[in-house]
Amino acid sequence: MPELAEVEYFRRRWDVGLGRKVSAVHLNAKARIGRGVAPATLTKALAGAKLVESFAAAKQMAFRFSGGSWLGVHLGMTGRLEAGDADREPTPYDHFKLLMTGGKELVFVDPRQFGRVQFWQGEGVPPWWEKIPPAILSPEFTVGVVEVFLRRRARTAIKPVLLMQERFPGIGNWMADEVLWRAGFHPQAKAGSFGPKSVRKLHATLREVCAEAMDVIGKDWSDPPDTWLFNHRWKDGGRCPRSKKPLVREDVGGRTTCWSPERQVLGAERR
């Protein structure tokens, strides 16, 4: 579920822990989400540490604690962050939990366990955090870098290309479909067939969808308006909010993809 804006939303759910100290750490050692992290190391470093600040970038989060300790969280497909008091009803998938002063609990819930936690202690930001490419909403995300990347992935359909985190950090399945639908490009158009005008259009639409998603979903997970593809994409018999014609759902590059055949025609990207 979690893409760019949902990740930002979940980051804020742990804000209740800011300024509080960790009184206990629970990591389910058998859960896949903790692969590579020793529960004892985590407990030793975090117990008594104060949660100082948090960050979200792409589909990742980082939580900084006093003492130079960093917790990284990736939510995978079904992960979510919750916060509650001591009387919070546990779920069977509370694989990681921080008990905080004041009786607050910060919980990482993930049924499928494609998500993960990471830990790092040292000067500055963790190495894995530094490797996250420039955000789509940052000045470094230029038309030029999009153009170069599309050329490099020339023979791949544009849909799976938009899912590549190395260039489009935070874009997931629904955002990729939303972008292509708004920009009017067929998901199976080859990345290499995009002309200069279309690359500019794609770049601008990526920015637009990211900004609107952060605004609508990132703040309080409001329902997106019906003018987005988002509200129609999973429904059988769903219709395009612009053309009112039936939407199509089909596998593209291994992922279910929804588009409006009326508006997204192969070849339109050549301009």
Partner DNA sequence: ATTCTTGTTGCATC
Partner DNA sequence: AGATGCAACAAGAA
DSSP string, 146-193: HHHHHHHTTTSBHHHHHT-TTTSTT--HHHHHHHHHHHT--TTSBGGG
Which CB sits closer to DNA, 60 or 100?
A: 60
Q: How far apart are CA 184 and CA 39, in angstroms?
A: 48
Alpha carbons within 13 angstroms on the beta-carbon side of residue 219 total 8
From 34, 72, 126, 160, residue interacting with DNA (rule: CB under 7 A): 160
Which CB sits closer to DNA, 17 or 133?
A: 133
> What is the CA 29 to chain-centroid distance, rounded?
25
Contact status: 178 vs DNA (CB under 7 A): no
Q: Which helix (H) or strand (E) holds 251?
A: strand 248-252
From 21, 26, 32, 88, residue interacting with DNA (rule: CB under 7 A): 32
Number of residues that bind DNA (CB under 7 A): 33
Least distance (Å) between residue 87 CB and DNA: 23
Contact status: 173 vs DNA (CB under 7 A): yes
Give Cβ neighbours of residue 78 (< 8 Å, ≥ 6 apart): 1, 110, 111, 112, 114, 115
From 253, 261, 262, 266, residue interacting with DNA (rule: CB under 7 A): 253
Least distance (Å) between residue 256 CB and DNA: 3
Backbone angles phi, psi at 224, to 5 degrees: -65, 150
Which CB sits closer to DNA, 17 or 79?
A: 79
Task: Return the residues of window 53-112 that contact DNA according to CB under 7 A.
Answer: 58-59, 74, 76-77, 92, 111-112
Least distance (Å) between residue 18 CB and DNA: 25
